[in-house]
Chains A and B, each alone.
Chain A
């Protein structure tokens, strides 16, 4: 899956921030500990006219999920 790779500063600037009344940014780490943001098309449509429009200009990279240790099934 392709996503927007963020620096830690970029992640800290948006994590948990609402970009409309109902939706907020949620960033996740990949297998290397790098932060990624995934936006649906409707997210992009919503963001392009806000202060967060710069996110749409950031580069995208392939995301490899981290390995999750499952203490239970």
Chain B
């Protein structure tokens, strides 16, 4: 039987413990403190997310993970892995709620401050994850990106998109001409993960199932430009705006096939606890 326990810290401060009486993980607590998330269901879900990532050796592979919990821009801006790094700055045009955050597809994007070349992400060692809450193909005839950065030639490129107007989804690690890993999902909702390791085998997944595989060539730079979310950072100018709902996203080092399976389960469990899973 579980209950909510209360204890008292120094100077009469009240420490609210998680259901069951145990304290929250220190990193989870840091997230709550920064983000202002106070709902106990949300806090327990985030705490379990942290514990699961750590017990599956995934925590240290994350450079940034945004659980998108709390229902407002402030709460959604914080990086679970390190609340002092890569806090999102949102442009006007986002809609934030308890079910996620939605860019308007015309002018809304978020800057991350995370430059892949500066954090050890390389063409042969990186992953991108987006849990999309939008099943439909993009209604815009203009191409879009869910996450992206690169130059204007497509030769320096790190990005992911789930389902464009023509049903194309893709994961880019390096130049599009040689390294784009393309699939045509019939459903744009779900957990999309793109990853590549030293074997230079790019893999693109949806809900833990492999969509496509591509052998790629290595490059000196993954991207020297910060990631934008909800759009593409092309030479530090925003373009290719998205209109897809975001439930969770992460950026980081390469993952094994087992890591992908575990991360998919962990992220979906988290979102299921919050009642907003898509499968």
Q: What is the interface of chain A, defined by CB distance below 8 A to chain B?
A: 1, 3, 18-28, 36-43, 63, 65, 68, 70-73
Q: What is the interface of chain B, defined by CB distance below 8 A to chain A?
A: 72-74, 77, 87-96, 104, 106-109, 140, 142-143, 152-154, 157, 168, 176-177, 180, 238-240
Distance in Å: Cβ of B173 to nearest Cβ of chain A: 14
**A21, B74: Cα distance in complex, Å:** 8
B74 and A22 contact, CB distance less than 8 A: yes
A23 and B90 contact, CB distance less than 8 A: yes
Distance in Å: Cβ of B41 to nearest Cβ of chain A: 22
When the two chains form the complex, which single residue of B91, B157, B168, B180 contacts A26, counting CB atoms closer than 8 Å? B91
A41 and B107 contact, CB distance less than 8 A: no
Distance in Å: Cβ of B234 to nearest Cβ of chain A: 10
- 18 cross-chain CB contacts under 8 A: A1-B104, A21-B74, A22-B77, A22-B87, A22-B89, A22-B90, A23-B73, A23-B92, A23-B94, A26-B109, A37-B107, A38-B92, A42-B95, A63-B106, A71-B152, A71-B153, A72-B157, A72-B177
When the two chains form the complex, which single residue of A38, A42, A65, A71 contacts B142, counting CB atoms closer than 8 Å? A65
Distance in Å: Cβ of A46 to nearest Cβ of chain B: 8
Residues of B contacting A43 in the complex (Cβ-Cβ under 8 angstroms): 92-94
- Quick one: closest B residue to A72, CB to CB? B154
**A40, B102: Cα distance in complex, Å:** 10
Distance in Å: Cβ of B255 to nearest Cβ of chain A: 25
